[in-house]
Amino acid sequence: MDFYEAQTDEVQRKIEWTLNLLKTIDRVPKKYFDHMTGTDGLFEVRVELGSNIYRIFAFFDKVNLVVLGNGFQKKTQKTPKTEIEKALKIKAEYENELRSNHEYKNKNKKRK
């Protein structure tokens, strides 16, 4: 949300348009959503507005839920390694929290 809120209204509208595209069509073109090569389940939402390029990292939770992580404005040809590492950390934290919540629920079910 911090990344989104820091953008201009025009960029925010383009981000919303792109995310809506992801929700509404079955086969999203790679131009808008693609797997990050060399990562474990990390994808990038691609947003272009004029000559500006923005990326929002994402991953799947279950089959249809896309979890958005960090976003940044891409200024070079290559995606910065620090941004990929940050996204992988967010993904790992999310999965650990999900696992902990699942274990807690199962533990409480056994007590009843």
pLDDT of residue 71: 95
Residues of the chain with pLDDT > 70, as a percent, come to: 88
Spatial distance between the Cα atoms of 84 and 41, rounded to a whole number of angstroms? 12
Q: What is the pLDDT of residues 64-103, one digit of tens each?
A: 778 999 999 998 888 899 999 999 999 999 989 888 877 6
Q: What is the pLDDT of residues 12-24, one digit of tens each?
A: 999 999 999 999 9
Strands 43-49 and 65-74: unpaired
Model confidence pTM above 0.85:
no
DSSP lists the bridge partners of residue 60 as 66
For the chain, the average pLDDT equals: 88
